[in-house]
Amino acid sequence: MPPSPLPPDENPLPRDETTATSSLGEVRSTASAAPRLSREEEAKLALEGTAISPSVARSLCLLFLLTIFCVPVLQTAVNARRGQAIVPALSGDRQLIPVAAQLKQFETRLERDSVAAQWVLPRVQSALTRGGVGNEQAYIGRHGALVYRPDVDYLTGAGFLNASTLKSRVQTKTSESAPVQPDPAKAIVGFRDQLAQRGIGLILVPTPSKPMLHPDQLAARYGESAGALQNPSYQQFLEQMAEHQIVVCDPTAPLESARRRTGKAQFLDTDTHWTPDAMQIAATALAASVRDNVELPAQPQFRPSRRAVLCSNRGDIAAMLKIPAREGLFPPQQVTTEQVLTEGGEVWKPSPSADVLLLGDSFTNIYSTAGMGWGSGAGLAEQLSFELRRPVDVIAVNAGGASTSRR
């Protein structure tokens, strides 16, 4: 498997072997003359050798005190003018010690409502972005592409089936959340068994992410012909699915083939989601998998149609940077969606009585839910219904993943 991508500033091209060898020789020769200091020792020496005059020390202390004093005073004045609570309540219940989830919600409210943060952060982030630096959620890629950081972490991190990873998933569960099965393979097998008791078949669709198919957006050493990347545990996961006879429809291969054949990006420039064309490829592959693996009952003929609709929007990763649109750093991207219509010319709607149910997340909702800003009536469920020529029902929760829609 090719090496996993990292952001440009953290993933330099590898040095050639001769340079690395000569550098190592310099380190060894220096080490023989003087012992190498640890980082802690270097920092201690630097601090001990730093001289600060009393006037500078007083000025810095005064500046620090003014900063931490002015921010809450400003926030209190603004809240009082708006008629809001001066200090937001931590929790409405009577717990003496708040749980981690409540503390996190409290911190989120403080950050969201902070006047200083609302004024400072967009300006600072704008300057950082112009210098090629993102934030904790987004990487600034090559040629203006934006990449969601957790998608990169999935590829560069430990295998999701590793014992340490499974243990961390259990430990990060909050006391208010429902118990979760940390092993995705076991969770899927258990879900398949529950469906089988009701005579329902299951087809699993692992959706690829942008850096899987476009690692060249982060690292120049990956050419456009580079293969798709994956987490180290993915092959083991597929083997476990095959062992339990669970059908897997992975659209990664046809999407990779389309990227090489057309040279077009399969994901939106500043968004985490796929393009309409890539989604159509996935819908076609899924429809073929349904026909090959599930015996569906006969039903009256269903003849949907499609019409092209232009949509324009800024991506969700651009929104994560919290840079005002007026800055013009990431202009809206225009795409053409294929809106699905019924025989009567109405926009397609899910059918609760359908014998095909699609469980999904935002990859299902994009182009389907108008609130996401990329049009409506043209999402994955709509395209699957069009390809199957039969009604489809759908349950999709943004940012909820498979577990939320399953519950």
Residue spans per domain, the chain: 102-133, 134-406
What average pLDDT does the structure give for the chain? 85
- Whether 304 shows a pLDDT value over 70: the answer reads yes
pLDDT at residue 326, rounded to an integer = 81
pLDDT tens digits, 126-162:
999 999 999 999 999 998 899 999 999 999 999 999 9
Alpha carbon of residue 166 to chain centroid: 20
pLDDT at residue 406, rounded to an integer = 63
- Whether 27 shows a pLDDT value over 50: the answer reads no
pLDDT band at 336; cut points 50, 70, 90: very high
Structure-model confidence comparison of residues 85 and 111, the more confident one: 111
pLDDT tens digits, 225-256:
778 999 999 999 999 999 999 999 999 999 99
Residue 197 DSSP label: T
Structure-model confidence comparison of residues 307 and 16, the more confident one: 307
pLDDT at residue 392, rounded to an integer = 97
Three-state DSSP class for 312?
strand
Residues 178/407, Cβ–Cβ less than 8 Å: yes
pLDDT at residue 107, rounded to an integer = 79
The one-letter amino acid at 25 = G
Closest CA to 350 of 338, 363, 362, 359: 359
Query: Torsions phi, psi of 306, nearest 5?
Result: -135, 150
Bridge partners, 336 (sequence order): 310
pLDDT tens digits, 177-220:
566 789 999 999 999 999 999 999 999 999 999 999 999 999 88
Would you tell me the crossing angle of helices 276-293 and 380-388 to the nearest 10 degrees?
50
The one-letter amino acid at 362 = S
Average pLDDT over residues 51-63: 91
Bridge partners, 305 (sequence order): 341
* CA separation for the pair 10, 218 (Å, rounded): 10
Three-state DSSP class for 390?
coil
Residue 40 DSSP label: H
Read off the tokens for 275. Answer: 């393009």
pLDDT at residue 139, rounded to an integer = 96
**Whether pTM exceeds 0.85:** no
Q: Which residues are within 8 A (CB) of 80 and not within 5 positions of it... i.e. 6 or more apart?
A: 86
Where do we find the tokens 């014992």? 163
Read off the tokens for 75. Answer: 């926030």
* CA separation for the pair 106, 239 (Å, rounded): 43
Read off the tokens for 318. Answer: 């651009």
Structure-model confidence comparison of residues 79 and 128, the more confident one: 128
* CA separation for the pair 252, 215 (Å, rounded): 14
* CA separation for the pair 28, 48 (Å, rounded): 28
